[in-house]
Structure 1
């Protein structure tokens, strides 16, 4: 089934024009605040989608975020870039997450919560919030693969009492990080973003300069379940990885304990 997945990646449609412009800006050595705002504001639907995410209950801003400039100030360029890429690419994907027993809203909530943890943990001057937000996109193609095989990934996870990545590996011979990385590599995203996502399954295999970020992403993905809820045993799951890669346990605990699971929902984008 790996062959099926990689054929699907090769046959992906070209990126939307707005996404291409955002990617080109993101791949520069320094993101331009002014240029990014101008590109996003060219697409009114994108502006509405980003503001919807920024004003979701999961970020808990006291006042409504009414414009993109304010969103960038509050969330940082990297995170808003992640939102923008997700929203533009989401329009072109044929999305069916029934193999994971989740909805598109659940998927978006997981992405948002992961990016929020990364944002609090590492602060906004980091690629990690973007990687955490975009890292699950590979599930779109793995779900398609599982459906083709007549398999349900969630049911397999429950039956075998295994993690999602392991169920994906057994059913489709590939995992979400590998597929997501291959998609962004196909579209010529920055090598750093691609490698952090690719090695988040096995950070010990990453080049030294990406190892800690890959391990951080592994932790974040492990503690947020498919529906975007914090796992009950999140701290127990995280601690061995945090200690192995000498990551900051206290700051991670602070990020995890923040009020990021407020009641509410995000309407479908």
Structure 2
């Protein structure tokens, strides 16, 4: 099964050239909002997606957005970059998660809620959102690769009978030989994403985290504990997320403020 997953990843088409150009210019601290908007504006699909995100009530903005420049100005360069990357990745897949017994709507719902939570929680640390946003939005995209391989091997029923959503990473390792976060790393490498993104995917489950990755790994672990494709912010998830918050010494007050609004966010996704 691992060989089939590797083959499927290698067969994926490249992402739009716009994404490579966007990542390159965003590495320059002198890059302006106008430059980012001009790059995204070359791609009609990404332009439409970014404006759609900007006008979605989940992100909490009330101003009507009509142009990509307005959207980049509102989100900021890092967030706009993250949303563009996530949009390009999601458009590369036909999402089917039937072996996991969840719908495409549930999958997208959880991804959008993760990103909205991070955007609200880290609104004072926007420089981190260029990595955090795409990682949150496509964190579970490996499930789509796994599903495709299961179906090609006619193992769908076998997987569904043995899969445990309460311990889905362990289940994937046992049944497939890969877990979805290992696949996420392979995807990031395949698409030549910036080194930090590849390393974030690599260390999501690792015990030892390099110091420079902690600002990305820790909040992603928190939001992943709080929101999964299978369940959202039940009491056990909230307790686990708060344990992570205390352990990693993250901003508890801002987290709790965002958590208070989660029911509102859930209603808007």
Tell me if TM exceeds 0.5.
yes
In terms of mean alpha carbon deviation, does 4-13 or 214-223 score higher? 4-13
CA 1:58 to 1:152, structure 2 compared with 1: closer, same or farther past 3 Å? farther
Q: Give the Cα–Cα distance (whole angstroms) in 1 for the partners of residues 113 and 158 of structure 2.
A: 24
Counterpart selection for 1:188 from 186, 192, 195: 192
- Structure-to-structure mapping, 1:38-77, within 5 angstroms: 38-77=38-77
Q: CA RMSD in A?
A: 2.6
Q: Name the residue aligned to 2:227.
A: 224
Q: Give the Cα–Cα distance (whole angstroms) in 1 for the partners of residues 165 and 9 of structure 2.
A: 30
Q: Following TM superposition, by how much is the alpha carbon of 1:238 offset from its aligned partner in structure 2, in angstroms?
A: 0.8
The normalised TM-score by structure 2 is: 0.84
Q: Conserved in 1, the CA contact under 8 Å of 2:99 and 2:156?
A: no
Q: Conserved in 1, the CA contact under 8 Å of 2:51 and 2:67?
A: yes
Count how many residue pairs are aligned between Structure 1 and Structure 2: 262
Query: Over residues 20-76 of structure 1, what are the superposed CA-to-partner deviations in whole Å (9 max), with x where a residue is unaligned?
Result: 322333454565422210121122232222222222232232232222222222222
Q: Conserved in 2, the CA contact under 8 Å of 1:18 and 1:39?
A: yes
Query: Over residues 72-93 of structure 1, what are the superposed CA-to-partner deviations in whole Å (9 max), with x where a residue is unaligned?
Result: 2222222221221222233332
Deviation >6 Å, runs of 4+: 152-155
Q: Following TM superposition, by how much is the alpha carbon of 1:211 offset from its aligned partner in structure 2, in angstroms?
A: 2.9
Unmatched 5+ stretches in structure 2: none
The normalised TM-score by structure 1 is: 0.84
Q: Give the Cα–Cα distance (whole angstroms) in 2 for the partners of residues 92 and 51 of structure 1.
A: 19
**Which one has the bigger helix percentage?**
2
- Structure-to-structure mapping, 1:76-155, within 5 angstroms: 76-123=76-123, 124-126=126-128, 127-147=131-151, 148=153, 149-151=155-157
Q: Give the Cα–Cα distance (whole angstroms) in 2 for the partners of residues 47 and 140 of structure 1.
A: 25
Query: Over residues 193-226 of structure 1, what are the superposed CA-to-partner deviations in whole Å (9 max), with x where a residue is unaligned?
Result: 2212221223x22222213421221111121121
